[in-house]
Chains A and B, each alone.
Chain A
Amino acid sequence: MLKRSYVSQLIIGLLLALLIFSLLGKISPFLVMILNPFTWIVLYFSLVRHEVFGAVTGTICGLLQDTFSLGVFGVAGLTKTLLGFGAGLVSRKINVLPPGRNFVFVLVMAAIELVLWKAMVMFLFGEGLGIGGGWLLLQPLTTALVVTISFQAMGRKEEEVA
């Protein structure tokens, strides 16, 4: 029952991520560099459901992100799978629920994922370190903000329901 509820949450989350991603591209192409809704989903579910769910969510979100890019299909899939598993594993062993700790943890995980993804892109494409005029570096920060706020908000909502 619990699993089914998380699966339906994941489906809604994926649809929302797709909607946000499409809207961001429509508003300004640079916004898709700053805000990555697929990473939000992976980190959120890794914190809530830990490593296995996080890894599977990472695979789905990463492959979805890859479909929007002209490159090697599977690069974002691989990095997001590792992100989901890693974030889920650490969050199960260390308490990252307090807002401050939550923010720092998500910031670090998002930064690691970005570095890993960029390194793979550079290795596979033989490209230089393209950071889109620095905009890409803001992505971990925005991810940390969005995930922490939504995580705290959902936690509070669950407390109210309980």
Chain B
Amino acid sequence: MKEKHKIVLLFSLVFFHLVLISIQVPRGERPTILEKAVFAVFTPIGHGVVSISQKINSLWHRYFYLRHVQAQNQRLREELFSLRQENLLLQRALAEFRAAEEVQRSLAHLSLSVIVASVIGVDSGQVYKSVILNRGRLDGMKEDMVVLDRQGRLIGRVVEPVTQRQSRVQLITDEDCGVGVLTERHRVVGVLEGDSKGKCRIKYILKTNRDVQVGEEVLTSGYDGIYPSGIPVGRIVAISEDTSIFKKIEVEPYFDFSDLDRVAVVAPTVHRQE
């Protein structure tokens, strides 16, 4: 190929990418059709790898242990995991209401469906932004479903694209993530966002507010209409002030990034109470 043609090809490719980038900036809420298509075509490979590795692992164990006991144990573990998540959410909802009638009314809405999922992909280079789960629309996954870790602590929420078998989760450590939160002791309300470095910060708490303290637990407030109230998010590790009218509050999230092998995805019906 002639040098001139090579340069033309390079500029064509660069132009293609620049067009692709510019149609997304400022970033909209929806991914492009091309991104959706590539995601749908290639993420099943990741899903396949995880399935194969899980199957090999399972075969290996079955070789040594009793086959039926192993299967039963696995099923019971998953059931226990789901029930534990459900129980945690129910307990939190119960604690919020004192009157028995209110509890009854609340419970009527708590028709929970907990989906157990595994992480099959990580955002390379920006690991604190998003992960990909091996559950999709066919498993009941939808946008804005809340994702919790083994202990029922907040990890993030499901965002587009959600394909038949895979879905993407925006982590609370992502800079673009916004979670309505409150402090445990004095119920001071703020908005939590990530710093894309593994930590979070709470915004919009005035300098004049003296009720926020280091070491205090941060919970979801439920005011954002996405995350149910009362889910543990993290702990305040530092408070500082600068020239702005708001405090700078740093939060260490509870979820352990290296322990995201199994997560619980909770249907939004739990918090969409009228």
Chain A 4-48, CB-CB to B under 8 Å as 1, else 0, gives 000000000001001101111110111011001000000000000
Please tell me if the beta carbons of A73 and B35 are within 8 angstroms of each other in the complex: yes
The contact of A125 among B42, B132, B175, by CB within 8 Å, is: B175
Q: How far is the CA of A128 from the CA of B159 in the complex (A)?
A: 23
Q: For the complex, is B27 an interface residue (Cβ under 8 Å from A)?
A: yes
Q: From A50, which residue of chain B is reached at the shortest CB distance?
A: B6
Q: For the complex, is B45 an interface residue (Cβ under 8 Å from A)?
A: yes
Which residues of A does B touch, CB under 8 Å?
A: 15, 18-19, 21-26, 28-30, 32-33, 36, 51-52, 55-56, 58-59, 62-75, 77-78, 81-82, 85, 117-118, 121, 124-125, 127-128, 130, 132-133, 136
The contact of A21 among B21, B35, B121, by CB within 8 Å, is: B121
Contacts A28-B258, A124-B25; A19 near B125 (Cβ below 8 A): no
Q: How far is the CA of A58 from the CA of B258 in the complex (A)?
A: 30
Q: How far is the CA of A113 from the CA of B27 in the complex (A)?
A: 23
Q: How far is the CA of A24 from the CA of B258 in the complex (A)?
A: 12
Contacts A68-B121, A81-B17; A30 near B127 (Cβ below 8 A): yes
Contacts A18-B46, A51-B6, A67-B38; A59 near B258 (Cβ below 8 A): no
Q: Is the interface of B mostly helix, strand, loop or mixed?
A: mixed
Total number of A-B contacts with CB less than 8 angstroms? 152
Contacts A19-B45, A23-B53, A136-B125; A70 near B120 (Cβ below 8 A): no
Q: For the complex, is B215 an interface residue (Cβ under 8 Å from A)?
A: no
Query: Could you list 14 examples of A-B contacts with CB < 8 Å?
Result: A26-B53, A29-B127, A29-B257, A32-B123, A52-B1, A56-B13, A66-B38, A67-B39, A70-B129, A70-B168, A81-B14, A128-B197, A132-B125, A136-B125
Known: A26-B120, A128-B197. 19 other contacts (CB 8 A): A21-B121, A23-B53, A25-B119, A25-B120, A30-B127, A32-B123, A51-B6, A52-B6, A66-B38, A67-B43, A71-B123, A71-B129, A72-B24, A72-B27, A74-B20, A74-B21, A81-B17, A82-B14, A124-B21
Q: For the complex, is B198 an interface residue (Cβ under 8 Å from A)?
A: yes
Please tell me if the beta carbons of A18 and B13 are within 8 angstroms of each other in the complex: no
Q: How far is the CA of A56 from the CA of B12 in the complex (A)?
A: 11
User: Least Cβ distance of B127 to chain A in Å?
Assistant: 5
User: Least Cβ distance of B259 to chain A in Å?
Assistant: 10
Q: Which of B34, B50, B126, B257 has the most CB of A within 10 A?
A: B126
